[in-house]
Amino acid sequence: MIKIANAPCSWGVLEFDLGGKAAGFEQVLDEIRETGYEGSELGDWGFMPTIPFKLKKELDKRSLSMVGAFVPVFMKDRSKHAAGAETAVKTAKLMADAGYSDAFIVLADKNGSVKERTLNAGRVTPSTGLSKDEWKIFAEGANLVASEVKSRTGLRTVFHHHCAGYVETPAEIDNLLSLTDPSLVGLVLDMGHYMFGGGNPVEALKEHRNRIWHIHFKDCHPGAAEKSRAEGWDYFKSVANGVFCELGKGSVDFKAIVKKLKAQRYSGWIVVEQDVLPGMGNPKVCAQHNREFIKSLGL
């Protein structure tokens, strides 16, 4: 059975060091529940309670589940791997000890930290990518994090391809999956990032069916994406200008995606992520629209 969640990033709670004030966790969880979702992601460490019983109490009183937690690691640098694994294990242990044994560590690159990739998000070229040796180091890091998380907490790890990071394009995703252990590292397919990164998520569902353990619903506005490419916007300006729009208002074919997920008998979570900057827009209104849109697709 497919269940629908939302995430703090839809309220401007992002992993980046940005200006502006985002909503607190109580407001985020209240509005996730009020707009008809069944779960949430954790957000940055410290955004929600970091004591297991307190975290569970906050979720239980809103009848919500914890779905996963985003953990960025700069995996191009081998010296960052051990610390990244410890952060992932700490985060996974919080969720496991709170009773959410099916939650995922959503592992990602340290997105937005490399100037060239951030400046060229949505239009990267092979010349801005990793070398063969760097790919090996990157994959070693992903395998290490996932192995430590699984062996020490029992939770699984999915990798989140992401614009403004080193795994953005379909070719880069293919490369990472070919270099990582399929028993340890799954893929969270993010529809909006896949589209902005130059791919068709419907095709990704076909190609990577066995590695897709988790799903993010995000849309990509074609006009904003084209203007970003034409005017050379960086990742954050693209987000500020609505490249990740409300579901159904962009170019992602969600009707075909839902049809494919049902045909594949996908039974995990779908997490809505409409990335906005802190203080941007009206997240609750957007969350309500997105939930109604998903209902119109039969979910």
Domain-wise residue ranges, the chain? 3-296
Rounded Cα distance between 68 and 216, Å, is 11
The residues, any chain, with a CB within 8 Å of residue 148's CB and separated by 6 or more, are 85, 86, 88, 89
199 residue type, one letter: G
Mean pLDDT of 217-232: 97
Identify the DSSP state of 11.
G
CA angle centred on 40, ends 38 and 43, rounded to 5° = 175
Rounded Cα distance between 165 and 190, Å, is 14
pLDDT of residue 281: 74
pLDDT at 266 over 90: yes
Rounded Cα distance between 142 and 146, Å, is 6
Half-sphere exposure of 150 (CA within 13 A, CB side): 15
pLDDT of residue 232: 96
- What is the torsion angle, in degrees rounded to the nearest 10, for the CA atoms of residue 191, residue 195, residue 201 and residue 202? 120
Place of tokens 């990602």: 108
Give tens-digit pLDDT for 24-82. 999 999 999 999 999 999 998 999 999 999 999 999 999 999 999 999 999 999 999 99
Place of tokens 């490419």: 229
Place of tokens 């209902």: 295
Rounded Cα distance between 246 and 286, Å, is 6
Rounded Cα distance between 72 and 107, Å, is 6
pLDDT at 280 over 70: no
**CB burial class (10 A; 0-12, 13-18, 19+) of residue 182?**
exposed
pTM to 2 decimals? 0.95
**By C-alpha distance, which of 42, 38, 41, 43 is closest to 64?**
38
Tokens for 272, please give them: 């809505």
Instruction: Enumerate the H helices of 61-114 as residue ranges.
Output: 81-97
CATH of 3-296, one of 2.60.40.10, 3.30.360.10, 3.20.20.150, 3.40.47.10: 3.20.20.150
Give tens-digit pLDDT for 131-177. 999 999 999 999 999 999 999 999 999 999 999 999 999 999 999 99
